[in-house]
Amino acid sequence: MRMRPTLSWTPDADLPPGTTDPAPVAEALRAGRVLVLSGAGMSTESGIPDYRGEGGSLSRHTPMTYQDFTGSPQARRRYWARSHLGWRTFGRARPNAGHRSVAAFGRDGLLTGLITQNVDGLHQAAGSEDAVELHGSLSRVVCLSCGALSRRRELALRLEEANAGFSPVAAGINPDGDADLSDEQVGDFRVVPCTVCGGVLKPDVVFFGEAVPPQRVEHCRALVREAASLLVLGSSLTVMSGLRFVRQAAREGKPVLIVNRDPTRGDREAVTRVALPLGAALTTVADRLGVPVQDVQDPAPA
């Protein structure tokens, strides 16, 4: 079943105010059994913009939908041209202090799991193990005909060969790795087919208008049931794919804590929202808990 894309949400005027005190987050982590749910705001300090925050990408572009991608060869050409160029920048992003802090909490046994709405692989690059990629990963490509999976790095090489000299200057990069290019810049970019069956290739991510696989949703629901509390990091919770887990935790009487500078659609279910930059807030929490945060030099998985 396909969902209608939810691109925007307007906060109510009477939402609970945020706080600048991260103490409740530290206390929840000290108690243990915390499940983390992260969103695009987690990666802004790595140079990847979010969708809806200040300067978010939705202010200048509309993300590709599943319906457009599958229904139009021209839309696929435009997507792969923009995504191919964006991948060069996206693949160079490095984990920031927030990613490193989450990985440290996991190593210290404070977490029961990690669900990320991001497709950038930065949690894994920071050392977080068993992260559930709710919306998939840009590091993989899937064939819509035969289901064959391949590495994005391999596709990038094939696209380079098919489009020698393609190097337009993009106006910006978006959370899904899509670079801002005009139709003129896209030009006659050549899309390559699946090497197994010749079918249409798609990044192994959940597009707007596409449903998260039911088995993945149920796995995440089980993680919520097993946790003592839910910690949301850098998500406006505008889309139901993440908001449903907040509502589930609230129904089950489990504290929901949010670290996000702007109001979120889940604020009414939360016991607190810490309105601080993620890197600074989580580093402060790690210091208070005496959890060592390791630096990361390796690039994100590609």
122 is in an annotated binding site: no
142's enclosing H/E stretch is strand 136-143
91 is in an annotated binding site: no
38 is in an annotated binding site: no
Distance CA 268, CA 163 (A): 49
Active site residue 135: yes
Length of the chain: 302
SS3 16: coil
CB 179 within 8 A of CB 85: yes
48 is in an annotated binding site: yes
CB 174 within 8 A of CB 180: yes
Distance CA 204, CA 207 (A): 9
Q: At 158, phi and psi to the nearest 5? A: -65, -40
CB 99 within 8 A of CB 23: no
98 is in an annotated binding site: no
Q: What residues form DSSP beta bridges with 140?
A: 151
235 is in an annotated binding site: yes
- Catalytic hit among 84, 99, 123, 135: 135
52 is in an annotated binding site: yes
SS3 301: coil
Residue 2 CB contacts under 8 Å (≥ 6 apart), including other chains: 66, 67, 209, 210, 211
43 is in an annotated binding site: yes
141 is in an annotated binding site: no
Distance CA 18, CA 232 (A): 14
192 is in an annotated binding site: no
117 is in an annotated binding site: yes
220 is in an annotated binding site: no
Q: Binding site for Zn(2+), residues?
A: 143, 146, 194, 197
Q: Catalytic residue positions?
A: 135
Q: Binding site for NAD(+), residues?
A: 39-59, 117-120, 234-236, 278
Q: Binding site, residues?
A: 39-59, 117-120, 143, 146, 194, 197, 234-236, 278
